[in-house]
Amino acid sequence: MNAQPKALFPGTFDPCTLGHVDIAERAARIFGTVIIAVSESSGPGTLLPVDVRVQLIAEATAHIAGATTVPFKGLTARYGAELGATVIVRGLRHGSDLNYEAPMAIANRAQEGGLETIFLLARADHTRISSSLVRDLYLHGGNIDPFVTEAVAAYLQSLKFPNTEQPA
């Protein structure tokens, strides 16, 4: 019998949401080992530095046996292959996610290691959650509690961004 494949769950996780935690839990049930790989790249729209993004998702997934969190830079496929992963896991909320994911999955499979991407459909109640929505609510002083873990909400609320509009 073949060994169970090791899965890489890459993302920006800026910040991680309940949707990400659910995908990590389900991937661990299927694959046993899930490496949550946090991209170090911080583009112009990135709110949190990579060390904070790593810390938050590591805490949010600490209850998942077989899940570990690491930062990475460079090509996802190369990094996954170096770690011995054979599968990339990504969540899909709706059809437009597939338009974004399909070219990445094809490109990743074309790299050395030939990692396959497996998509897990988001839970119905997670289909409207996104990191950008959380960032936008947060920066305007909105309620992010329904979308993130308590620890993520508490951390963000402890920060004072200069442009954050706090509720009256």
Residues that bind ligand COA (CB under 6 A): 10-13, 17, 19, 23, 39, 75-76, 91, 93, 104, 107-108, 122, 126, 129-132
Q: How far is the CB of 122 from ligand COA (least distance, A)?
A: 3
DSSP assignment of 7-50: EEEEE--TT--HHHHHHHHHHHHHHS-EEEEEE----TT--S-H
For ligand COA, the closer of residues 122 and 152 by Cβ is 122
8: tokens are: 């890489």
| Nearest residue (CB) to ligand COA, 33 versus 72 | 72
Amino acid, single-letter form, for residue 24: A
Contact residues for 150 (Cβ-Cβ < 8 A; gap 6+): none
Residue 19 C-beta: closest distance to ligand COA, Å? 2
Q: How far is the CB of 84 from ligand COA (least distance, A)?
A: 17
Number of other residues whose CB lies within 10 A of the CB of residue 115 = 24
Taking the least distance from each CB to ligand COA, the nearer of 35 and 168 is 35
Q: Which CB sits closer to ligand COA, 108 or 149? A: 108
For residues 15 and 131, the answer to whether their CB atoms sit within 8 Å is: yes
